[in-house]
Structure 1
């Protein structure tokens, strides 16, 4: 149970840092344009981290059972 809680806290902290970088860092410090205000761009920006995390967790669970 402790390992699961630790993993959950790590994911939440990484997610919060990523969200803060996107919200505050991109427009001011990284000299990159903000995410384009389109429905497709917004959908991709929201779903891509979840899809990547799901893929990593799936890969990790299949590699542990083998």
Structure 2
């Protein structure tokens, strides 16, 4: 994802839904990577990026994790 950060940001900022599926550790890693991408591409602090993602997460980010 980080290699395609500009594309990921364009999709996220355009309202794309995100589906994350994997083992229990993977969703946290993906969310962390998304926060980094948002912070860098939108010019936000890490805290602001986490808040932005949190708002999106309520409506457009879906997580399925298993152990």
Common fold: TM-score over 0.5? no
Q: Give the greater-gyration-radius structure (CA).
A: 1
Question: Per chain length, whose mean CA-contact separation is higher, i.e. which structure has more relative contact order (CA < 8 Å, sep 6+)?
Answer: 2
TM-score using structure 1 length: 0.32
Q: Greater share of strand residues, 1 or 2?
A: 2
Structure with the higher helix share, 1 or 2 = 1
TM-score (norm 2): 0.32
